């Protein structure tokens, strides 16, 4: 093998700055998507359990459609087809911002929220129905009972699968490079194009993804242990 390894080329100077910028963009798009997917996933899960049939049908169609279509196709759909489904004012605002970034956030949010909704629904089903009935008997509405009684318990139960969904979202963010989002994988590809040292560039990117995943997993697990310790009887 005559390959000339040059790790310093990737980790220093302008190319090192590209890697740093890629990491920052990856963390930004992942964090924003995680927050929105949690909110949307919770709403879809509550819709699924409501007694209002149109909301229930909408939630079923939402989860089945977005869980069973490839994420890459969804990314292309929101990037190339947003003009057809989003209001004109929204599209104009997105174009004034970073449209590629916004399209990536929308795709990651919608895709991941469909899986999170199912995790939340399974967590709710694991809670005895008597708790919901007792909450309603005290005068709480369905939404209030969900907010104050059912969902807090469900979230504690589904911490492990939620971690998996968060980690999947972070790794899936690499697909946003296909629409020009300058995240970590995009920057590694650029370095490979300029230097022909693809092994070093993608090795560094792989290790960074691994490090981020381990940090997220550790942080959420520590929070879960602390939470259970604080509120265990």
The predicted model gives 117-124 an average pLDDT of 90
Q: How far apart are CA 99 and CA 95, in angstroms?
A: 5
The predicted model gives 67-80 an average pLDDT of 94
CA-based nearest residue to 115, from 198, 37, 15, 46: 37
Task: Please report the domains of the chain, with CATH numbers, ordered by start residue.
Answer: 7-231 (1.10.3720.10)
The pLDDT of residue 229 is 62
- Contacts of residues 191-195 at CB distance under 8 Å and 24 or more positions apart, as own/partner, are 191/10, 191/15, 191/18, 191/19, 194/15, 195/6, 195/9, 195/10, 195/15
pTM of the model: 0.88
Q: How far apart are CA 100 and CA 75, in angstroms?
A: 10
- The 10s digit of each residue's pLDDT in 148-173 is 888 888 888 888 888 889 999 999 99
- Contacts of residues 38-41 at CB distance under 8 Å and 24 or more positions apart, as own/partner, are 38/113, 38/116, 40/109, 40/110, 40/113, 40/116, 40/117, 41/112, 41/113, 41/114, 41/115, 41/116, 41/117, 41/119, 41/120
Q: How far apart are CA 43 and CA 22, in angstroms?
A: 32
Query: What confidence tier does 230 reach under pLDDT thresholds 50, 70, 90?
Result: low
Query: What confidence tier does 189 reach under pLDDT thresholds 50, 70, 90?
Result: very high
């Amino acid at each position: 093998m005559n390959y000339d390894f040059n790790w310093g080329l990737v980790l220093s100077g302008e190319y090192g700055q590209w890697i740093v910028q890629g990491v920052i963009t990856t963390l930004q798009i992942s964090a924003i998507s995680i927050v929105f997917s949690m909110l949307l996933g919770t709403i879809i899960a509550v819709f699924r359990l409501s007694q209002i049939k149109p909301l229930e049908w909408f939630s079923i169609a939402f989860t089945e459609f977005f869980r069973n279509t490839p994420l890459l196709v969804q990314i292309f759909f929101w990037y190339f087809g947003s003009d057809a489904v989003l209001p004109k004012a929204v599209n104009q605002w997105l174009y004034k911002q970073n449209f590629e970034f916004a399209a990536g956030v929308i795709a990651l949010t919608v895709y991941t929220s469909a899986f999170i909704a199912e995790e939340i629904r399974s967590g709710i089903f694991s809670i005895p129905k008597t708790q919901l009935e007792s909450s309603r008997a005290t005068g709480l509405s369905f939404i209030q009972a969900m907010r104050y009684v059912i969902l807090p318990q469900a979230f504690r139960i589904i911490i492990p699968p939620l971690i998996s969904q968060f980690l999947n979202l972070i790794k899936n963010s690499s697909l946003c490079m296909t629409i020009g989002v300058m995240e970590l994988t995009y920057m590694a590809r650029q370095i490979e194009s300029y230097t022909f040292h693809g092994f070093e560039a993608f090795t560094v990117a792989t290790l960074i993804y691994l490090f981020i995943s381990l940090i997220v997993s550790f942080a959420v697990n520590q929070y879960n242990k602390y939470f259970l310790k604080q509120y265990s009887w």
